[in-house]
Amino acid sequence: MEILRCEGVTKAYGKGENAVHALRGIDLTVEKGEFAAIIGASGSGKSTLLHILGAVDSPTRGSVWVDGQEISTLSPREAALFRRRKVGLIYQFYNLIPTLSVERNIKLPLLLDKTEPETKSFEAMIQTLGLCDKLNALPSQLSGGQQQRTAIARSLLYRPVLLLADEPTGNLDQENSREIMALLKRFNRKLEQTILVITHDELVAKAADRIIRIEDGRIVSDAPAR
């Protein structure tokens, strides 16, 4: 089952001779349950693509469908609701609310919808991520690895159709990087969670099952990881 489809996605900043082309006609599909990585150097367009796939930004031309919904023409309000209910986003810098406890940070997307997570699902999530004894802590009281685990829990608790991770290990040491990628793979296998990781790191990309390489705004290769 197809979860993500891009057709002819381009992104240009500015106009005419001064235009900067970040993406140049991206065609891409991702199936339900896939664990794929998009790898490229700084400036290759990979983060721009992720922002478009997560409805944080919109393409200059082309179309994007997620779970059968075209998202490339959403209004700002519609895009915010889509991000909160359909797509999980994990960033390099965690993006936790510093004044909220770990528990409230994790539950925030559901609290904004005035709902609560199912108790067993919440307990299973925090146990898997090793956060049971950190629920009352503030983000400043956590290590980098614990902050990223909190961000992962927040992004997965409402079971998004697609999880997008932008350089999720970029602020972590090698040991924590391996643990975070192992956790993502576990959620992919156990929950059949569709995951797309954006990275410049070959070792991180090799944790995925499929590697998509992007250069100068174009996909130059797309193959199973070896």
DSSP states along 97-149: -TTS-HHHHHHHHHHHTT----HHHHHHHHHHTT-GGGTTS-GGGS-HHHHHH
Strands 195-199, 162-166: pairing is: parallel
DSSP letter (8 states) at residue 76: H
102-125 confidence digits (pLDDT tens): 999 999 988 888 888 888 888 998
Instruction: Say what the pLDDT of residue 140 is.
Output: 94
In this model, does residue 101 exceed pLDDT 90?
A: yes
Q: Work out the end-to-end distance of the chain between its first and last CA atoms, rounded to an integer number of angstroms.
A: 24
Q: Band of the pLDDT at 220, cuts 50, 70, 90?
A: very high
Q: What is the set of domains in the chain, with CATH numbers? A: 2-224 (3.40.50.300)
Quote the mean pLDDT of the chain: 92
Distance CA(33)–CA(208), nearest Å, equals 12
CB 183 within 8 A of CB 152: yes
